[in-house]
Amino acid sequence: MSDSSAGPRIRIEDAGKHVGETVSIAGWLYNLRKSGKIVFPILRDGSGMMQCVGVKAELPEETFETLKHLTQESSLVLTGKIRAEERAMGGYEMDIQSVEVLQRVPESQPYPITPKEHGIDFLMDNRHLWLRSKRQHAILRVRHEVVRAVRDFFDDNGFTLVDCPIFTPASCEGTTTLFEVDYFEDEKVYLTQSGQLYNEATAMAFGKTYCFGPTFRAEKSKTRRHLTEFWMVEPEMAYATIEDVKQLAERFVCSVVARVLDKKREELKVLERDTAKLEACVPPFPRMSYDEAVRILQEKGSAIEWGSDFGGTDETILTESQDRPIMVDRFPTAIKAFYMQPDPARPEVALGVDVLAPEGYGEIIGGGERIHDLDLLMSRLREHHLPEEPFDWYMDLRRYGAVPHGGFGMGIERCVAWICGLEHVRETIAFPRMLYRTKP
Amino acid sequence: MSDSSAGPRIRIEDAGKHVGETVSIAGWLYNLRKSGKIVFPILRDGSGMMQCVGVKAELPEETFETLKHLTQESSLVLTGKIRAEERAMGGYEMDIQSVEVLQRVPESQPYPITPKEHGIDFLMDNRHLWLRSKRQHAILRVRHEVVRAVRDFFDDNGFTLVDCPIFTPASCEGTTTLFEVDYFEDEKVYLTQSGQLYNEATAMAFGKTYCFGPTFRAEKSKTRRHLTEFWMVEPEMAYATIEDVKQLAERFVCSVVARVLDKKREELKVLERDTAKLEACVPPFPRMSYDEAVRILQEKGSAIEWGSDFGGTDETILTESQDRPIMVDRFPTAIKAFYMQPDPARPEVALGVDVLAPEGYGEIIGGGERIHDLDLLMSRLREHHLPEEPFDWYMDLRRYGAVPHGGFGMGIERCVAWICGLEHVRETIAFPRMLYRTKP
């Protein structure tokens, strides 16, 4: 276009450092208000949004005409002077001096996502564009902060990151929800459902360890809490008991929430999140046994019987009146994985713990103490009708320097849904994969 | 065991803060030297190793006997006083007061990895135990630091982490090396080979973005540089040219190497890495065009002809005499992916750049500028005989606010192999997956 840019290129989030200066910002048109004599293009550049001001009387005619006819999501570079403006979003505005349009989206084929309401299927089909919207942008910025907070917490607490394999020969959480992959020459491998078995090996090598990557569950459930591909962080500690696991989980969750409150206030505001609810997330978390939880649920009218796992509704009932996460421990051994340590005082319950987020967001953490005795683990494997050969390496961890150990897993998407206050996990990841959704 | 532990539990890496104090350290026996009157158990706890000293004359008989008969990788808690000792590994020793053995590995079934030489297949079969060895421990600690440095670099430079999906409907790098997954009801999806196409969408939403996760290539190659599952970090920038990509790659690589030199000296010493070679990694990197590289290779006796991609040997020739990474740009358009921007001045070469690590470690980074013009991209798609429908969403990025943009991908395992000075990438990841290796 005719006007060339002048002044150093800055990002909108850094505008405060350039008040009074003439700078250029490269971005896309988010919205445009206009009258005969003045235009207000709202520019987004990925780091933020800024209202810019173009005054007809102060601009070459061609420049004003260009600004006036900008279309949504056209790419452009605006040059002008930055001015502090209390009432403006972000606190700054630009007085436009010139504009360079890189690509003008034509009226004949306009940007498909308009300020009007769209159905969820349409938005999901256009997920590659929907990410540009204010709300989705805010959610994924919060997600980034959650990921940073998670990693910083473990890095700063002496844990070594040791990522576990995605291709696994055996199942950890049951064989019905495995995705099968054709490896070479008719070999079959499975996509990991959890890194935990491998974490136990690395905990014996590094003392404290964590893995953090995508995990996969071929669950045919179409609920607001399920994705087929989701990210999970899993710490594991040698020489640790269920009490150590609980304390770690509590400190960890509080640290992640505090970080988001500290760094992503603006994004939470965009999401209209009641931050008072998040500020309540401080230790100690209420603790109860599975026995007590079942009693409470039955009193509140749930049909649950001792021995069953909680349903989504049960989790909602237990947490809706809470202002912070709750920890439930000692679940029936029969409904837990084969490697879960039974309570020595009462072997029908296992030393496992779930953390349920408040406000009905349900389970975000599951973990506990693992069996470290070889004979006990072998007998549990048989009770679960699992083959011995694929687990032989796992048994080695009980043959050579066994110690009490434990850890947990936290699903990132559920955690982000809770922190952002979202109804459905599908908005917490850039390109969600669900039962009927593998595109774009 | 009889002796109970006393004193606060500490980790070996924190020993320096507890000189003169009586503390307990929980770990595993790495090695044991002994005479009739004194034993020197070397304890490892995952954070480090420490030589401990047990003197017969100063200990109850039972304690001394227990120490004397410890076996490799038995789990134990040692209690004693920490003493600075210049000549000791790590700089500290413990004078043992008591010992608690959690599990004594029996002589009848000893720990399989002994100080003697083992074959690589045996070690790989026992990877879950091999990770406890000094060298493997050091490599994975370096890997952790590389991952942290990578994330900190992008986080601190205004990039938003937006992870890309693992399940993808289409291929990015060619269809012959795809792993196929059975999704639900006869649907097929593929494991991602690169997040780049998705990164382009997120760069238009966030300006500067990166993804960092596992990627998959079903390559039937059995070389020292290939894994079927490997981790890749991929930044992407809107409003960026190939020059921006080169500068970013240079700053990035130098920052990662500097961080490892700063934080992981001890580990590099264990690996006997010549750190002078890493200290040479500072800007500017030597730059050359593909044309020049071919000329140099031909002079040095390579059979390469203009138009072919480099072989591993070519990469070695180009870099073995260099003390820092080199950047090669403008490869033949015909051998590059369909989305690579052709040089406007010379369309037979593309605005792509590879970074080759020195000392013969080969390509660690590949990247460049992407086509942002819709018509050009459409014609390139057809030339590559790729179907249009799966790429329709990708074309949208050229329909709605197209801008010049680019980025790169760096394979973590190759980078770690170079920094650690390793012959083969298989030791750079906890549980490597290769053509004939999917276990443990």
Handedness of CA A297, A298, A303, A305 (dihedral sign): positive
Q: What integer best gives the mean pLDDT of chain B?
A: 95
Strand partners, A368: A352, A407
The helix (H) or strand (E) run that includes residue B414 is helix B412-420
Q: What is the mean pLDDT of residues B382-393?
A: 92
Describe chain B by its helix, strand, coil percentages, rounded to 5: 35, 30, 35
Is the per-residue pLDDT at A185 higher than 90? no
Fold of A127-428: BirA Bifunctional Protein; domain 2 (3.30.930)
pLDDT band at B130 (very low <50, low <70, confident <90, very high): very high
Burial A229-244 (b: 16+ CB within 10 A, else e): bbbbbbbbbbbbbbeb
pLDDT of amino acid A3: 43
Is the per-residue pLDDT at A2 higher than 50? no
Give per-residue pLDDT as tens, A234-256: 999 999 999 999 999 999 999 99
Burial B13-43 (b: 16+ CB within 10 A, else e): bebeebeeebbbbbbbbbebebeeebbbbbb
Lowest-confidence segment of A7-21, A291-305, B312-326 by average pLDDT = B312-326
pLDDT of amino acid A7: 81
- Residue A247's alpha-carbon distances to A327, A355, A370, B257, in angstroms, are 10, 11, 16, 36
Tokens of A168: 């696994």
pLDDT of amino acid A343: 98
Q: What is the mean pLDDT of residues B96-108?
A: 98
Is the per-residue pLDDT at B183 higher than 80? yes
Is the per-residue pLDDT at A125 higher than 60? yes
Note whether A12-103 and A127-428 share their fold: no
Q: How far apart are CA A329 and CA A246, in angstroms?
A: 9
ipTM: 0.97
Give per-residue pLDDT as tens, B64-94: 999 999 999 999 999 999 999 999 988 999 9
Among candidates B310, B335, B407, which has minimal Cα distance to B367? B407
Under DSSP, is residue B259 helix (H, G, I), strand (E, B) or coil?
Answer: helix
Closest approach of A299 to chain B, Cα-based (Å): 40
Give per-residue pLDDT as tens, A404-440: 999 999 999 999 999 999 999 999 999 999 999 999 9
Q: How far apart are CA B45 and CA B35, in angstroms?
A: 24
* Phi–psi pair at A439, nearest 5 degrees: -130, 160
Residue with tokens 């390509």, as numbered in its chain? B363
pLDDT band at B2 (very low <50, low <70, confident <90, very high): very low
- Residue B381's alpha-carbon distances to B81, B164, B335, B353, in angstroms, are 70, 22, 14, 21
pLDDT of amino acid A172: 53
pLDDT of amino acid B173: 54
Q: How far apart are CA B362 and CA B311, in angstroms?
A: 9
- Cis? peptide before B284, omega within 30° of 0: yes
pLDDT band at B19 (very low <50, low <70, confident <90, very high): very high
Q: Which one-letter DSSP state was computed for residue B285?
A: P
Q: What are the residue ranges spanned by the domains of chain A?
A: 12-103, 127-428
Q: How far apart are CA B404 and CA B238, in angstroms?
A: 6
pLDDT of amino acid B312: 86
More confident call, B321 vs B195? B195
More confident call, B386 vs B239? B239
Is the per-residue pLDDT at B368 higher than 60? yes
pLDDT of amino acid B3: 42
Contacts of B426 (CB under 8 A, 6+ apart): B124, B224, B227, B432, B434, B437
pLDDT of amino acid B115: 84
Helical packing angle, B242-263 and B134-156, nearest 10°: 140
Q: How far apart are CA B290 and CA B309, in angstroms?
A: 10
More confident call, A160 vs A173? A160
Q: How far apart are CA B47 and CA B57, in angstroms?
A: 31
Fold of A12-103: OB fold (Dihydrolipoamide Acetyltransferase, E2P) (2.40.50)
Q: Which amino acid is at B172?
A: C
Q: What is the mean pLDDT of residues A380-394?
A: 92
Closest approach of B298 to chain A, Cα-based (Å): 37
Tokens of A243: 């009490």
- Compare all CA atoms of chain B with the CA of A435 and give the residue at the minimum distance: B184
pLDDT band at A320 (very low <50, low <70, confident <90, very high): confident
CB–CB of B203/B248 below 8 Å?
no
Put simply, the answer to whether B26 touches A238 (Cβ < 8 Å) is yes
Lowest-confidence segment of A30-34, A131-135, B171-175, B389-393 by average pLDDT = B171-175
Report the C-alpha dihedral over residues A363, A365, A371, A377, rounded to 10 degrees: 50
- Residue A156's alpha-carbon distances to A240, A347, B45, B253, in angstroms, are 18, 36, 17, 24
- Cis? peptide before A440, omega within 30° of 0: yes
Q: What is the mean pLDDT of residues B422-427?
A: 96
A-to-B residue pairs, Cβ atoms closer than 8 angstroms? 247
Ranges of beta strands (E only) in A192-320 are 208-216, 229-238, 287-289
Q: What integer best gives the mean pLDDT of chain A?
A: 95
- Cis? peptide before A112, omega within 30° of 0: no
Is the per-residue pLDDT at A173 higher than 80? no
**pTM greater than 0.90 (yes/no):** yes
Is residue A160 within 8 angstroms of chain B, CB to CB?
yes
pLDDT of amino acid B175: 67
Is residue B38 within 8 angstroms of chain A, CB to CB?
no
Put simply, the answer to whether A401 touches B74 (Cβ < 8 Å) is yes
Q: How far apart are CA A26 and CA A43, in angstroms?
A: 8
DSSP per position, A341-391: PEETTEEEEEEEEEEEETTTTEEEEEEEEEP--HHHHHHHHHHTT--SGGG
Tokens of B395: 């074309």
Picking from A111, A151, A181, the nearest residue to B400 by CB comes out as A111
Is residue A217 within 8 angstroms of chain B, CB to CB?
no
Q: What whole-number percentage of chain A has pLDDT above 70?
A: 97
Report the C-alpha dihedral over residues B419, B420, B423, B425, rounded to 10 degrees: -80
Q: What is the mean pLDDT of residues B368-397?
A: 95
Q: What whole-number percentage of chain A has pLDDT above 90?
A: 88
pLDDT of amino acid B174: 61
Q: Which amino acid is at A383?
A: E
Closest approach of B169 to chain A, Cα-based (Å): 7
Q: Which amino acid is at A411?
A: G
Put simply, the answer to whether B208 touches A46 (Cβ < 8 Å) is yes
Q: How far apart are CA B440 and CA B432, in angstroms?
A: 9
Put simply, the answer to whether A147 touches B161 (Cβ < 8 Å) is yes
pLDDT of amino acid B6: 66
- Compare all CA atoms of chain A with the CA of B133 and give the residue at the minimum distance: A205
Q: How far apart are CA B67 and CA B79, in angstroms?
A: 12
Under DSSP, is residue B108 helix (H, G, I), strand (E, B) or coil?
Answer: coil
Q: What is the mean pLDDT of residues B405-434?
A: 97
Give per-residue pLDDT as tens, A266-311: 999 999 999 999 999 999 999 999 999 999 999 999 999 999 999 8
Is the per-residue pLDDT at B170 higher than 70? no
